Amino acid sequence: MPHVDEAQKYIPLPAYPHLSDEESKVWQRFMANNPERFHRVYYDMRVGEGRNLPVEADPTYQGAWWDLSRRRVDVIAEDTYAIYIIEIKQSADFKAVMQAYGYAILFKDNYPTDKMVVPVVLATHYNPDVKRIAKEVDVVCWDDQTTLPIPGI
């Protein structure tokens, strides 16, 4: 499935770009517990800088090479007050925390906004110490069974 650079309705889909089957199940469980939580979502959104095409490669591929070598955010979700940069894992580790943290920085660089940008790790399980480290770097941790309050209600 190709990446989706356009806003999508926050509804379940048969498949999600860039998510493994296990990660898709985590997202589906989260959505089932939070059906009205977000206004819109983006899947597989690119952030950051791409790499230059190797010198020996055909230059007609430059644009695609640059785009495909950029970082990919699993889900970007938006509500009235914030934009959430969501890294989804079955079992979250330190790498997931730093992905969410880094992707939030890159998102703000590429897509300036007045809204708060919140890095999030969404997982079924967390390896030891991950939530403590995430809190230290202001990354929010949700699990797939979490029900979040709806802003403004």
C-alpha–C-alpha distance, residues 114 and 101, integer Å = 18
Average pLDDT in the chain = 89
pLDDT confidence of residue 119: 98
pLDDT confidence of residue 98: 98
Q: List, for residues 104-127, the tens digit of each pLDDT value.
A: 999 999 999 999 999 999 999 999
C-alpha–C-alpha distance, residues 13 and 36, integer Å = 15
Where would I find the H helices in the chain?
21-33, 62-68, 94-110, 130-136
130-150: average pLDDT: 94
